[in-house]
Every structure is written in structure tokens, then in C-alpha cells.
Structure 1
């Protein structure tokens, strides 16, 4: 460590000292911040648990006033005889009188509780008494399986359903139904009582409680079947429905953890895509589960707000310290940096002299820079002499090259021959001269990226010359997709392969010596080009070796390093260098029948 510090520059040594000081300060601030965050989180957890207890307490108040209705047969001596007797054994007057009395008593007690919409009593004989005259057969049939599935061993048991929609007095209401058994003094069951609670009033009670909370805490209320009954207003719509099965299972397990329910601990769950701190509470009367959660980012945001003052002051101090360190390091290290940069340029052959006047350094560094400038001036003079000598040599070589045959001269000469042949009416010379002239023009003009149509015309000019040289010896076919003609491709890819076929495929001539050129688009990304001939073909083992060599050719292969006598390798190297290793040549051949060379290149709709 000490050796590394000694190798540092002056500026870096000073900055390192400041960085060490700043790092220690930041570490202390970070430790203080962590401690503060723990305090904020603990306060948040306490608030969440208190909120859960408050919701459970309000639920107790909600259902506590219902006990008078449940024990109405014990409070009012006139009601029990009516309930314990069967209507079919009574006179009509007795039935109407009993129903009217019970209805009036129930209505009186129900009006004292704003949450109760309807009370229905069904005695052991199936007779129905209610404070609301509505059709209840479907309602009771829906609840019958629920009643039968419960264990009523506990005489004090009260069962609460989830949220359902019922018509009461021809109006639809969302209700939560309380179901309990009615017992006589001798503990004999004499019927079942159903109390329908107004879910809208329950929601308003919870909403009022939520509005008093300032944090971004949210809570859910789950019924006895662990289905959602209520979600606080700050929970987005569809949150519960979009929870997957694993998330719900994790939430249910949390609601069953005794330490979580007892307020001894909280857990972290991912709810609605966010990490949240979660506590739970179970109401002992309704068995409703209250899940309270706060996104961790909201908890951290509160902690950060508490730290803003300290962090702001710390940032100002650190900024001043950094600025001071930079100024001091520049004053000491700047002349060394300038000299080192100039010397680095000298290593690359570019000796740049330092302007001494702007700096006014009169110390040892100023003397060192002056000595460097004198040395650099001498080096520059030597470099200039060598450069002039090499330039003269290049100019001499260029003069020698100018004596060689220029392709432009040959191109112009062919045009002259074509003109003379046209005047003499020798059509074959005109055609062969024009084709060869076009080929030279294609070679010496334009960029390396050309339209596919130009490359095809170049091939046709080449084959036109062979048609004139060897009349009726070859048959050439073209099958080209019109859309492909408008695309662009690398120059000189097809003609070398056609030339390769003419030179090697027809060593033994057939009655019909055919060469076909097929070009088509593959999807929106690739172009396929196939040169097919019916020549002598290639042995199977040679095809495998050649394909293996072509597919294994490196994308960095230089064309100048490829044997120019083998057109396949040359074209393949150019394709892979330009388009990438996913493209190139592939050969298919059957000895004595045919050879097909397939090119795959990337589609280019513009020359850029």
C-alpha cells in the first residue's frame, strides 16, 4: 500500500488525503442514517399495528349491538312461544298476529343500529319471520349449504359471510350476513337468525378511519374464507384480482403467524410489485383478518426527509473540501501534468513544444520545461529531414507507377474500337467491345456498394462476351425476384462465381451446358443468390471439405491473404468480412450431375 502511494502523482496524493477524510465523514453520516432509519421504521411498524388494532376494535363495536337482536326471544317473553310453535297448527289470525308482533319488535331493534338492513328468523319448523317483507326463498337456499357446513358445537358461535348482493325492498344492496343459532334456556336449538349488515356503511366506517392516517399505509380486510371484503382507497383497483396464487398463499400464511398477529414482528412481502412491510390482526368475533402494509419506499422517504438537513450541511462541507483539494492539487501537479503530456506525444513521434509565457513558472519546473523545449526543437528538425527524404522516395515510386497501363486508357480504347466496328457494321465486335467496356467502367467507377441490378448487368456483360466467343455452347437462365433488384449489395460477388463455373464445371461438354442465376429475398433481412450449373459436379468428400473450410473462415481474414486463383474462397472472405460470420457461401453438388453455389447476404435497402 505504501509503495503504491509513493508511485502516485502529487495531485493524486493530495486528493487521496481529502478522499480519505471525506470517506470517513461519509461513513459516520451513513451509520447515523442507518440508525435513524431503524427508528423511523420501528415507529412505522408501531403505527401499522395500532391501526390494525383500531380496525379490529371498530369491528367489535360494529357487531356488539347485534347481541340484543340475537337474544330477542329471551328478552321478549311473547316472541319465544311464537317461534317455538309451528304455523300449520295455528289459526290464520294467530299466525298474522305473531308475525306482526315479531316483525315490529325486530324492526324496533334494527332501527337502533345503522348497519342492519334486515333480520330474518327461521324456526326449527321452517317458518320465516323478518322485519322486511321480501321474497327470501332464494336467499335462504343460497345460505343453507353454508349453515349446514358449519360446526355449531359452540353454542355462542356467530358466522359471518363474505360480501354478497341481495335485493331488499326491491333495492339491490351489498350485504354481509351474520348467522347464528337461537337457543332456549334449556340450550335447545329453536331456530336460526340471519342479520344482514349494510356493506356500504361498513366501508364508510373503514374509510373514515383511513382518512385519519397521514402515512401511505394501506390495509385490507379479509373475511373468514380469506376473500377480500374491503381495500383502503389508496389501493389501486384490481389489485386483489391480479395477485397470483403464490402471493396470496404467502399473505395467508402471514395472517396465521401468531407472532405477526400478536404485534411481535412484521414481515416483508411483495404486494402489487412493491416491497412492503406487513402486519396482521384477526378480529376474534367476526374472524375477519386485517392486513396492514406500507411500501418500504414510503418508509425510507420519511427517513430521508429527516436526514435532509444533515445531508445538506454535509454536502456543502464536502463540496468546499473537494474544491479546495482540486485547487491545491492543480497548483502543484499542473506543471508536471503538462510536461508529462508533452513527453507522451514525443514518444509517438509528435514533439509538441510547450508555450512557456502563459505559465510564468520561475522555479525548477520552469527550467525543466525550457530544457524540454530545446530538446524538442532539435528532435523536430531531425524528423523533418527524415520526412522530406521519405516523401521524395514516394514521389519517385509514383512516377514509376504512372508508366504502367491505366484502366481508363483501356476503357477509352475499347470505346474507340466499338465506334470503328459500328461504322464498319461488324455487330459482334460492337457487342463484345461494349460489354467489355461496360465491365471496365463497372470496375473503375462507383463505390463498393451497388444496386443488385448493376451487379446482374455486370454478370450479363461478362456472359455476353462468352456467348459471342462460343456460339451455341452455353445456355444462360435468369430467375430474379423484382423486389431484389432494388436492394444493394457488395460489389463483385456474383461474376467471380459464374467465371468459376465456366472454367471448372464444363471440362466435359454436354448437349446442353446450362448456367442459372436465381436471386430472391428471404423475409425482410436476407438475400439468397444461387449459381447453378449442370457440369461435372464435385466429389462428395471434396464438397464436405470445401464447405467446412468456407464456414470456418475467420471474419478477419484478409482478402490479400486468400488465394486469388480460387474464386470461392475469395468471395466468401469478402462476404464474411463485410456482412459477418452469419453469412457466406455454401456448396451443394452431385458428381456428374450438377453444382449449386448459394450465397447468403444481408439485405440492404440503401447504400448507406
Structure 2
């Protein structure tokens, strides 16, 4: 087969393979490999690893250090001291205080992270360890008083306060912890444990991750910035106002889970990558900030590299277009001439001879002919639907003749009824006026609650005509009340129930109107317990619903019973014209038992406005 006889797609593919694809592939593979190696290995993976290790180190530190709070559960002497009132026995208090200090000292040999510890029993007596100076004692007492209420409402009754600075043993930062202690048997509060934990091990990990681009920050449970491996972020916060504000917003978005949250944002000309993780033990958020100017530099280099490749592709593509366009122009011009001269008055297919021998253009002509066929069929169908709607408009216009006179007359009747104290006549006049106004104004779209209100007006008049005969029950979810639906799709069935279904009944005439959603389809059910229909009548109505149009001749030949089937068909065809053939209504009826109307509309599709 000659190359010129191949499809244009094949010709372009073979040409691009030789002139474009191979050069692009070679350059792209080399560039992508180098950039991917730099970006992935140096930044993305390392950032997640560092912040995960810092989070794990914090959990490990606190898990070991907070075991001191379990001493009342492990040592009976300490448990006894926590529930003892030393008011009249200061000697025992002194003896137990010494015992506490000895036990703390022994415990701290195994746990070097514990700096200071204070137990306060339920009667306010304290037992402390490693508190030097009255000023330090006062500060710890103040901390316990300020944070006790927070710990009582915190998870596990444990609160980790913001980092504190202390000069004990040359430690720079300590982590205060306060925990409410409970009896293991009756779960009554027996006291408070206050401990200060050496934060140096976690701080060393965080500072070791510090470099010119990478910074680790810690936000406490209240959302305050309490630690930064780059001290300038804390000491000179006014210089980083916009950056710290963005970090604070990011901190609020970190969820209570094990996953690492990642975000990228720009401030001025700088781009930052951020990782954040939630620490379940403290409720803190660990945030890692990366100034990604190096990544931007790599992207810039990428851009320059690909710009050169793009220029090469552009030149090659231009040469390719010049060569191939000459072959395509002739056939496309013939096809365009054929389309421009197409007769829209009647359907006729475009001849394939206009496409020469090209495969794609033949397919295009076939699709164009199919489209014309569908448009012709659609126009015919829409013509029939519009004809049915026009008949409804004509019927409505009959009610519009001098409608102001009708409104004024009804208002006169209402006023006379009010003057003569005849509330039933006044109610009928108001309802009738509202019915007429609604029928003239609400077409073609109305709110569901407006349709229900219209039915209520109609039923009010009927209940005045026939007291205690009709009961109309509604089951409409509140969230569907404002839904837009085609107007006048419910009332015709209520009228049919009253005029035909209940013609032979004097009492216990029940109508139910409900709706539900199933598989994104909105179902309206109108159910009555009237006389129902015979199988033959029901079949006739179903046959009419399946017809595509209504002729003027058939309308003249219908008797009164069939006249109401026109209203049913009008509703059915209007719904299908709005939403498609898969929607509409179905009817179930059994003679002497009643009738069920199921109206189906799409729930999650845009409702028509015309």
C-alpha cells in the first residue's frame, strides 16, 4: 500500500515518529531522570522521614518520662500518702516526703529525662523532687494552679504545657506535664502529678535537621508556636508576619491522624513546601518548612531545556504541516463546499464522492449524515411536543379572558361574605382567586411547595362543597419543598381522583401524595382509594401514553372520560420533553380498590427553565 493512501493519522504518526518522537524521547528521558533523582531523593522523601522521626522521638521521650505518674498505682506507700491528711501528723508528712525524694532519685537513675517532679495529694500536701530555690517552687505552684483545670478536661486527664526555659543542669528547654491521678479501684481523684521533662533529645533531632532551607516548628495544642529549629522565627516574628500567618492556617488544617499533610504555597517570590503531622501524645502539631528555591531553580533549568526542545519541535512540526497540509486541503475543500451547499429544507445524505479516498473524512461524512438524521427526527418529535403544549396554552388562554374582571368579582364576593359573616364563601373566593392567579402565572416551572399549596386550595374548595368527604395526606420531605418541577403535574391527578375515582363514594375518600428518591430518580406517588379502573380502560390510557403525538381529530372524538386522559398524556409528554423518554408516569389501578400514579423525574439533573 502506498504511503499517500494511508489515513492522515497514520501518515502523521510515521512522520512524527521519525522527526519528533525519537528526539523528544531521548532528551526527555535524560532530563526527567536527572531531575527526578534530585527532587525525590533530596527533598520529598527526606522531609517526610525527618518529620516522622521527630514525631516518633517525641512519643518515645514522653512514653518513658510520663511513667512517673504511675507510681501511686505501683507503690502502696505512695498511694497511701496521696490519700492521707497530714494535718495532725507533720512527722509522718516529713517521713513520707523523704521517702518520696528517695524513690524519685532511684527512679530518675533509669529515666534521665525527668528534670523535676511534684506530687500533690487530694488534701493539698506536696512531695517534690529536684526543686531548687523558692522562686522555682513558686513558679511550679503557679503552673499547677493555672493548668489543673485544663488537665481535668484533656484526653487521658493529661496536659502538656508550652515549653519552659530553666537553668537546672544547663538545660535550655523543659516540657511541663500535669496529670490528674485517680484511684485504681473507685476511680476517685487522689491528686496531681506535675513533671518537667528534658526536651533536649527531641530538640537535638529537630536542630540536626536544620539547614539553610529546612526548618522544624512545633505548635502546641492551643495553636501557638512554641519551638522552632530556626530561632529567628520566634525571636523576630515581626519579620516573618506573612509566612507565620500562612503556617498558622496550615497548622489548623492538620487532622488528628497518622498521615502526613503536605502543602505548597507562595509568599512574594518565594515558594515553600510544608509537611505537618499530629502528635497524639501531646496534641501538638509538628510542621516542617522547606524553602524550595532550589527546586524552583531545577524547574527553571527544566523549562530552559524543554524550551529548546519545544523550539526544535516547532520547526519540525512546521515543516511537517507544510508537507501534509497540501494533501489535506483538496479533500477538505471539496467536503466544505458540499456542506455549504447542503439543502436544509429536506434531509439528504452527503455523497461520499466528496471525500476522495481518505478514511477520516469518510468517517466525518458518515457522522455528519447521522447527525442530520437525528436532528431531523428530533425536530419532528419536538414539533409534536410543541403542538401538544400549544393546545394546553390555548386552553389556558380561555381562562385569561378578562381575568382582571374575574379577580375583581371574586374580591367583591369575598368582601360581601366578610360583611355578611359567611366565612365559607369568603374562603372559596380567596382560594378561587389564588387558583386562577397561579394558573396564569406559574408556567412552565414552579416550586414543589407552590404545587402543594395549589392542591390545598383546590381541596379546600372541595371540602367546603362536600364536608368531611375527602382526606388529603402529604408526605413530602422538607428539603425537597423548594425543588423546581414542571408546573401542573400533580393537580390533574388529584382532580381525576375526585371527579372520577370518588364519584360513587360519599365518605372515606382518601388521597395520599408522597415522594421519595431512589437511584437518583425522584418519584411522586398520588394514591387514592376510589373506584379504580377496569383493565380495559387502564390499557387504553397506557396505549395513549405510549403514542408520540396527539392529533386534533382524536381530541374531538374523545368522550368525557377520555378527556381526562388528555391531561394525563399532557403531563407525561411534557415531562419527557424536559428530561427524556426514560422519565414520565406509570399508572396502576384495580377496579373497586383505587389507583396509584407514579411520576418519575431526575433528581440530580438541572431542571428546565423553559
Q: In which range does the TM-score fall when normalised by the shorter chain?
A: 0.3 to 0.5
The TM-score normalised by the length of structure 1 is 0.41
Larger Rg: 1
The TM-score normalised by the length of structure 2 is 0.41
